[in-house]
Homo-oligomer: A and B are copies of this chain.
Amino acid sequence: MTERIFNFSAGPAVLPLPVLEEAQRDLVALQGVGMSVLEISHRSKTFEAIRDGAESDIRKLAGISDDYAVLFLQGGATLQFSMVPMNLLPTDGTADYVDTGSWASKAAKEAGKVARVHLAGSSKATSYDRIPAAADLEWSATPAYVHMTSNNTIYGTQWHRLPEIPRDAILVNDASSDIFCRPADFSRFGLVYAGAQKNLSIAGLTLVIVRKDLLERAPESLPVYLRYATHAGSESMYNTPPTFAIYVLRLVLRWLLDQGGLTAIGERNERKAGKLYAEIDRSGFWRGHARSDSRSWMNVTFRLPSEELEQRFVAEATAAGLDGLKGHRSVGGVRASIYNAFPDAGVDALVDFMREFERRNG
């Protein structure tokens, strides 16, 4: 077997090795079923058990009550940028958006096609290096909802405390790049969505957790696929769901539970990120992009003294089996994505590599 390298990709991203091994075993013929997991009907008992198991494991892992529907959709966060306002924002209403990066900004733009958008705060002026402070957030009078992006993949920033929003407003969160990275009180949210390809499963699946009382806000004229109620009323089986991605999700959820659940995962993520930030802060050689209070546990972004050194760093790291470290073009430098499934050994290897690189180039 080809040896595995350390994959720091921002997504699609690394999956737990036991998940890959189990998926590999089932890939030609599921035990006792006689066909591949890729071939089973979404109406079969085998798949129903997988789907039901994924939903119940999500509820167990994150403490999601029956007041919420758990939906398995397609189209990524990008389709959610539109589905959220199409379902929750009346055409004469206003939605408040906090602009913490490119994706948050794209989400606001799509909402603007449906109704009025109020920009409650932005860190654009400082290259999205922070989550706006509470004092810098100004809500509109009666927002239909408030939209936040809990982790900003490109810039490496993360909300570590939820915003205080107007009473009766609904908090909507794009959690694509940090869902289930630690315990969270989901009852604070009206709707949470997440593309699966970072912390949950493979690309092609979108998880939506939505309070059931919000489902009926959508106008009748909405396309059937774009109505949350369509999927909530049919256990996400109105049309053929992405069966294999849901199967991989199920395996990942089992793995998260086996690790000790979100408390244990959160401790591990904080420790992993802490090692990298400690190294960044150790000398003046590295320069973190995110302000200390906004640093992400999932995407660690930093610069080197020159672009030439940054290019060399990425090239040499790749050659050393540390892949996917090139920063997004809008920030430059280095980005280490260290999602739930990213192993401690990979973080240690990167820290060692950074020390050695600084010794040779510092």
Contacts and interface: CB of A to CB of B under 8 A. Distances in A.
A14 interface: yes
A189 B198 CA distance: 38
Contacts of A40: 9, 12
Interface residues on A, range: 35 or more
Contacts of A30: 2
Contact of A76 (B106, B223, B239): B239
Contact of A39 (B3, B12, B243): B12
Interface in A220-255: 221-226, 238-245, 248
A1 interface: yes
Interface stretch (A21-29, A133-141, A292-300): A21-29
Contacts of A3: 29, 34
Given A110-B224, A203-B42, A223-B82, A35 B14 contact: yes
A7 interface: yes
B42 A240 contact: no
B35 A224 contact: no
A300 to B, nearest CB: 17
B9 A39 contact: yes
Q: Is the interface of A mostly helix, strand, loop or mixed?
A: loop
Nearest to A245: B204
A17 B9 contact: no
Contacts of A202: 38, 242-244
B244 A203 contact: yes
A106 B5 CA distance: 47
A232 to B, nearest CB: 15
A278 interface: no
Contacts of A241: 203-204
B239 A77 contact: yes
A13 interface: yes
B75 A35 contact: no
A113 B218 CA distance: 14
A212 to B, nearest CB: 22
A82 B225 contact: yes
Contact of A20 (B33, B36, B44, B225): B36
A344 interface: no
A24 B27 contact: yes
A346 to B, nearest CB: 12
A144 interface: no
Given A81-B224, A204-B205, A244-B244, 7 more contacts: A4-B34, A11-B41, A14-B39, A34-B321, A74-B76, A76-B239, A202-B242
Instruction: Please provide the 9 A-B residue pairs with the shortest distance between their CB atoms, ordered closest to farther.
Output: A204-B242, A82-B223, A5-B34, A74-B74, A78-B239, A24-B27, A2-B29, A204-B204, A9-B41
